[in-house]
Structure 1
Amino acid sequence: MRSVPLVSLITLNFNQAELTCALLESIQRLSYPAIEVIVVDNNSEEDPTELIRKRNFKDIKVIVTDKNLGFAGGNNVGIRQAKGDYVLLLNNDTEVTPDLIERLLEPFEHDTTLGVTCPKIRYFQEPTVIQYAGYTPLNQYTGQAWSIGSHQEDIGQFNTSGITPFAHGAAMMVKREVLERAGLLPELYFLYYEELDWCCRIIQAGYKIYYQSSALVFHKESMTVGKGNPMKVYYQTRNRIVFMRRNVSSLSLLIFSIYFTALALPKAVLIYCLRGQFLFLKAFLQGVRWNLHHTVERPTVSTQQTTLIDNDLVTLKASV
């Protein structure tokens, strides 16, 4: 019988097998004794299974999808296969510290209302500089929330753990009962904002999100789509609006719409034109246009979701 809870580590690979292997190498140094590791390949041009096998990693399960399911869809495939009492989502462009899992599990032992824990994140290329130390609350009228401590030298100023409104999708540990109550990641988004929307649903289900300052992950930021990419502009624009449509009141959405139309949109158009970034401008406008032509359902938490998740898990486990 296991004396400690099983933790399922899930990461996505998309045309970056070497980067994924670097994460898997760091996972081998974890001190926690009960983990399973699941790599979901999002239909890469080259199946990474053989490369991972040649590296002689211990206990790695590789799942290859038949199409690119995006961040949410790919992680959901892994979650459905996971057997753990806790699920730890890790970007494949992260590297972990040896005591990460123990640190992330610790808060759950003291507060049963916690549904998610997340570590401090520093930049891999600048290992003393913070990317994430919790989030500010969402501004209901501009649709913005800011990562606390971003681009600041870490001198211990964010070493106080506590409740935060949002986890960071690069590294977040989720209790299994949260999946049964709040559902899986919303696949509408494909890229960006899906973990923020998920956090709203998790909080709606009665759980809290906790920033654990003593846990640490290093992040090689934007390695999958790049820091400057029209696809990133498209999904960030599209999904910012989608997120607001799904998660704020009618009055807040009206004020956001006025703000976005009168200020954010013309500012973005002007900047892209002045810089000659017309592909970025096109992507931005396409992201806006998508919202003009598509309805968006508001998320709900219900007992029906619990049944659907359980059924999905049973079906997928049986097909392994």
Structure 2
Amino acid sequence: MDKYEVKLSFIIVNFNGMSDTLELIDSVYKANLKFSHEIIVIDNGSKNNEFEAIKMRYPSIKGLYHTENLGFAGGNNLGIDIAVGDYFYFINNDTLLPQEASTEIAGMMTFLTMHPWVGGLSPKILFDEPENTLQFAGSTPLSKLTLRNKQLGYGELDKGQYDELKPIPYLHGAAMMLPKQVIQRVGKMPAFYFLYYEELDWSVTIRQSYELFYYPGAHIYHKESASTGRDSPLKMFYLSRNRIIFAARNCKGSDKVYALIYLVFLAGMWQALKLTIQGQLTLLGAHLRGMGSGISWFQNVR
């Protein structure tokens, strides 16, 4: 196999999702990548040791089975500790590489090599189904008050309308490539979030020294929410919790005060009222516990 100067480490976190992970690795091999690379799988607290079963099918992969679920960031950080590539490509286990991946990923690495002031890239992300439907083509900044933003292209048919390379405020956690030297400088992902907002917080840290870009010359397919489900109690808890933590960590001065008031007393209570009216008591409990956990975290670290 021809080898480029750079070497790429794929970092994949698996949690009770062996079938998805195997399908992703299949897509990596089918892409016939023309550069030196390694595949690292972190089995992050699955009920059974799925890493060993995955390695039986693909003996060349690296990684480990960790008996405790360390969350999205914690699992990826274990991958960082193992990876030896010059570039790390973090991809969700419920994604698939396209046939064109060899040329596209090589283009991403070349771009980062030629622009050392760029700290990371996210490619165009398409839903696996329905066909040719966009999930991510960049995003707007988070509102200082609501801590919400817009994901550009979401749900639109891909007609090339988002094929312009451009700076973005945040990388997308489903697919993001960073040079190893950037991580060595800024540190690993903040693991205390456990799930959701960790890549946003990490992006804020990275942007203190670098720029981030949406790279439309590469794409990936995403089977959204295969592990957590839509509107699951797990998702509700961590979204409610981590918005508060993110505001406490990243908003400054009066912006922090206003954001926390909004998140807890306006948006938080409105969400609780809606869930009560809808009779979704399990989600309501998860939401209230999440807010309580976020407030407790903020009080303990002030």
Same fold (TM over 0.5): yes
CA distance in 1, matches of 2:30, 2:72: 25
Structure 1 residue identity aligned to 2:140? T
Contact 1:8/1:38, CA 8 A, preserved across alignment: yes
Deviations 1:88-146 (A, max 9, x none): 10100000122342132132133110010110001011131111011101211111122
Deviation of 1:6 after TM superposition, in Å, equals 0.7
Equivalent runs, 1:238-317 vs 2, <5 Å:
238-295=241-298, 297=301
Q: What SS is found at the alignment partner of 1:122?
A: strand
Deviation of 1:14 after TM superposition, in Å, equals 0.8
Alignment counterpart, residue 216 of structure 1, candidates 216, 219, 225:
219
Q: TM-score, normalised by structure 1?
A: 0.88
Q: What SS is found at the alignment partner of 2:126?
A: strand
1:93 aligned residue: 94
1:10 aligned residue: 11
Contact 2:96/2:221, CA 8 A, preserved across alignment: yes
Deviations 1:197-256 (A, max 9, x none): 00001111x111111011100000011111121011000110011011101112111111
Q: What SS is found at the alignment partner of 1:28?
A: helix
Contact 1:161/1:210, CA 8 A, preserved across alignment: yes
Contact 2:134/2:155, CA 8 A, preserved across alignment: yes
Q: TM-score, normalised by structure 2?
A: 0.93
Deviation of 1:49 after TM superposition, in Å, equals 3.4
RMSD: 1.7
Q: What SS is found at the alignment partner of 2:191?
A: coil
Structure 2 residue identity aligned to 1:129? T
Identity of aligned residues (%): 36
Of stretches 19-28 and 251-260 in structure 1, the one that deviates more from structure 2 is 251-260
1:84 aligned residue: 85
Deviation of 1:29 after TM superposition, in Å, equals 2.4
Structure 2: runs of 5+ lacking an equivalent: none
2:45 aligned residue: 43
Query: Aligned residue pairs: how many?
Result: 296
1:196 matches 2:200: yes
Structure 1: runs of 5+ lacking an equivalent: 299-320
Q: What SS is found at the alignment partner of 1:24?
A: helix
Alignment counterpart, residue 189 of structure 2, candidates 179, 185, 190:
185
CA distance in 2, matches of 1:213, 1:247: 28
Q: What SS is found at the alignment partner of 1:37?
A: strand
1:64 aligned residue: 65
Deviation of 1:66 after TM superposition, in Å, equals 2.5
Q: What SS is found at the alignment partner of 2:30?
A: coil
2:231 aligned residue: 228
Q: What SS is found at the alignment partner of 1:169?
A: coil
Deviation of 1:297 after TM superposition, in Å, equals 5.0
CA distance in 2, matches of 1:285, 1:27: 41
Q: What SS is found at the alignment partner of 1:131?
A: strand
Runs of 4+ off more than 3 Å: 295-298
Deviation of 1:261 after TM superposition, in Å, equals 3.7
